[in-house]
Structure 1
Amino acid sequence: MRFVLTDEQTGFARSLHDLLSKTDTPAVNRAWANGDHEPGLKLWSRLADLGVTVLATEATPVEVCVAFEALGRHAVPGPWVESAAYLPIALPDEDFSERRATVAAPPDVPYALDADVTDGVYVVGTGLLTATAADRVASVDGSRHLFEVDAGDPVDHGDLDAAFELAALATSAQLLGLGERVLADTVAYAKQRKQFGREIGSYQAIKHQLADVRIALDFARPLVFGAAVDPTPRSVSAAKIQSAEAADLAARVGLQVHGAIGYTDEYDLSLWLLRIRALQSAWGTTAFHRDRLLTDLLDAR
């Protein structure tokens, strides 16, 4: 059996890519990191017009992954997983099509992302509760503003387990997109950067490293979209593990090929590298998902 995106899904992905390619997302990220949210909120509205904010309830997890891969590929800032993947499932009676909200779900998601640009903050405790943002904490990715929260009143909620699976899956798709972007940028750099009179991409050592990244991402993609077809805890954990490892490999190889310039604030690649590092542990660390996958496999024996 051959699983491929439909023409409609491919067209949706192309529309997202066309919109985001016309946007200076590195500048949006830098503005967001510095507290200037206006460019990012304008981009949020434009993506909402394309339907990204309603995919969790009005489409399938496959469309969610298509969208979040594009958000990752272009490093779009904001509480997208929380507001467009988790909370629409956790609060099915709420309308998040035009609303931004965020959530903390300790221990896997200990802080609320970008609570300073939302009109609703929640926390998972004994059920789902309203919350208020407290102290801001440091993040490896400066465009991810993390806040401690103070719990408030309980609210009627939907299936929090299903919400967690979709959030973890959306994060996996973001990591896949991030890895693809870093690989593409690294290949382009290797083709134009010269050393000893030759493009560095012509050296076998560079080719082999880039090929390893290509293979890792190609192994991650079917796991991500396979989990989208059947989002069980086992399939979602497998997708998160592989996408995180593939994106991490892309980041390490990308930095090695670019050299020291790759992690400077002024160079755009650093934005993707830091986002990869931050999302590796978001919505479940690799250790958490390995343990969950192993438990599920042993229980199935």
Structure 2
Amino acid sequence: MRFALDSSHEDFASSIDALLTKSDMPAVIRAWNSGDTGPGLKVWQRLAETGVNGLLIAEEHDGLGADAVDLVVAVEQLGRHAVPGPVVETVAVAPALLSAVAPERLAALAEGSLATVAATPHAPFAVDADAADLVLLVDGDTVSLGTAGEARNSVDQSRRLYPVTAAEQLGTVGFEAAFDLGALATAAQLQGLGRTLLDSTVEYAQQRKQFGRAIGSFQAIKHHLAEVAVALEMARPLLHGAALSVRDGSPTASRDVSAAQVACGDAAYLAARVALQVHGAIGYTQEHDLSLWLTKVRALVTAWGTPDVHRARVVASLESGAAS
């Protein structure tokens, strides 16, 4: 199995990175946090123009007809820049569901509409239903249009959570494939978030001085940052391997996705802890940009399946293989 990305993937990632770098994402996120979704929706429209929203949508519905590898490449960049909104739901889960039950709604997603999804028990609330054009509810194998209730707060201020009740039923679909895509995209987001936390912490450690020396020159700081770098690099092949398994319809796809989700979540959480330790308490204040990444990691670690759920899926798959 080949894990290295080819030049087309790298170019795609670079184009998304350049777009988001120019968008002043901390200002966009803070506006979203305050209820002003306008700047964020403009970013989403530009992302749609690059093809991000339509990655998993067939060309006949104005999408790119891409695969899980392209999804991971794109969503990792969205994670690096902490893009607000229902990222996983719009780019991964909703296209998978609508392709089966309401393909006529896919073109709107490809053109820049946002979608959010609630699916008990692993995603019981719909993220940012107030900013989404489409709210879906999955109950077992039944997919329905949903009506959002009263918002609930998340530790990440850019994620508002809404309970959803069913309205019009759209159809039935096996949910496992859509769930796997949600978990895979969440893992990619966490990988991107972890990378930004590491990069920003290294930069801070090179500038911040104590006792006349940059704190990055202290051995203890170096060791902590090295542990984060190793964790992120060890998680990356699991993430890419899971994307290949999903793309190829491997019988171990669900297990591989869960392994990637756990590894990327653990690495991102370690990156967040070390970033906060190196920056000190200022890193957790709302005035510091680092807090925007820290809180998103904390929220996403349990999104689309908790670590316990994904570890249990890995163990069950391995035990099943051993038994056979």
- Show the counterpart of 1:106: 120
- Show the counterpart of 2:205: 190
Residue pair 1:89, 1:160 contacting (<8 A) in 2 also: no
- d(CA) in 2 for partners of 1:197, 1:287: 45
What secondary structure is seen at the aligned counterpart in 2 of 1:4?
coil
Q: Which runs of 4+ in 1 moved over 2 A?
A: 156-160
What secondary structure is seen at the aligned counterpart in 1 of 2:291?
helix
1:300 correspondence with 2:321: yes
- Show the counterpart of 2:89: 82
Q: How does 1:17-96 map to 2 (within 5 A)?
A: 17-57=17-57, 58-92=65-99, 93=103, 94-95=105-106, 96=109
Quote the offset at 1:119 in angstroms: 1.8
Q: Partner letter of residue 116 of structure 2? A: T
Quote the offset at 1:275 in angstroms: 0.3
1:151 correspondence with 2:172: no
- d(CA) in 2 for partners of 1:20, 1:144: 19
What secondary structure is seen at the aligned counterpart in 2 of 1:124?
strand
- Show the counterpart of 1:120: 134
Gaps of 5+ in 2: 58-64, 247-252
Residue pair 2:258, 2:313 contacting (<8 A) in 1 also: yes
Quote the offset at 1:208 in angstroms: 0.3
Q: Partner letter of residue 4 of structure 1? A: A
Residue pair 1:91, 1:157 contacting (<8 A) in 2 also: no
Residue pair 1:89, 1:159 contacting (<8 A) in 2 also: no
- Show the counterpart of 1:278: 299
- Show the counterpart of 1:141: 156
Quote the offset at 1:88 in angstroms: 0.5
Q: Partner letter of residue 193 of structure 1? A: R
Q: Partner letter of residue 76 of structure 1? A: V
Quote the offset at 1:149 in angstroms: 1.1
- d(CA) in 2 for partners of 1:273, 1:118: 24
Q: Partner letter of residue 173 of structure 1? A: A
What secondary structure is seen at the aligned counterpart in 2 of 1:75?
coil
Q: How does 1:233-272 map to 2 (within 5 A)?
A: 233-272=254-293
Q: Partner letter of residue 30 of structure 2? A: R
Q: 2:110 aligns with which of 65, 87, 97?
A: 97
- d(CA) in 2 for partners of 1:3, 1:155: 37
Q: 1:199 aligns with which of 214, 217, 230?
A: 214
Quote the offset at 1:172 in angstroms: 0.2
- d(CA) in 1 for partners of 2:5, 2:280: 36
1:131 correspondence with 2:152: no
Q: 1:209 aligns with which of 210, 224, 228?
A: 224
Quote the offset at 1:151 in angstroms: 1.6
Quote the offset at 1:158 in angstroms: 4.3
Residue pair 2:125, 2:162 contacting (<8 A) in 1 also: yes
CA RMSD of aligned residues (A): 1.0
- Show the counterpart of 1:6: 6
Quote the offset at 1:160 in angstroms: 2.2
Residue pair 1:90, 1:157 contacting (<8 A) in 2 also: no
What secondary structure is seen at the aligned counterpart in 2 of 1:173?
helix
Residue pair 2:143, 2:173 contacting (<8 A) in 1 also: no
Residue pair 2:146, 2:168 contacting (<8 A) in 1 also: yes
From the superposition, tell whether residues 42 and 34 of structure 1 become closer, same or farther in structure 2 (CA, over 3 Å). Answer: same
What secondary structure is seen at the aligned counterpart in 1 of 2:237?
helix
Q: Partner letter of residue 198 of structure 1? A: R
Quote the offset at 1:4 in angstroms: 1.2
- d(CA) in 2 for partners of 1:265, 1:158: 42
- d(CA) in 1 for partners of 2:157, 2:308: 24
Worse-matched range after superposition: 209-218 or 79-88: 79-88
Quote the offset at 1:159 in angstroms: 4.2
Residue pair 1:171, 1:283 contacting (<8 A) in 2 also: yes
What secondary structure is seen at the aligned counterpart in 2 of 1:206?
helix
Quote the offset at 1:128 in angstroms: 1.0
Q: Partner letter of residue 280 of structure 1? A: V
- d(CA) in 1 for partners of 2:216, 2:173: 51
* Residues 150-169 of structure 1 deviation map (CA, whole Å, 9 limit, x = unaligned): 12232125442111111110
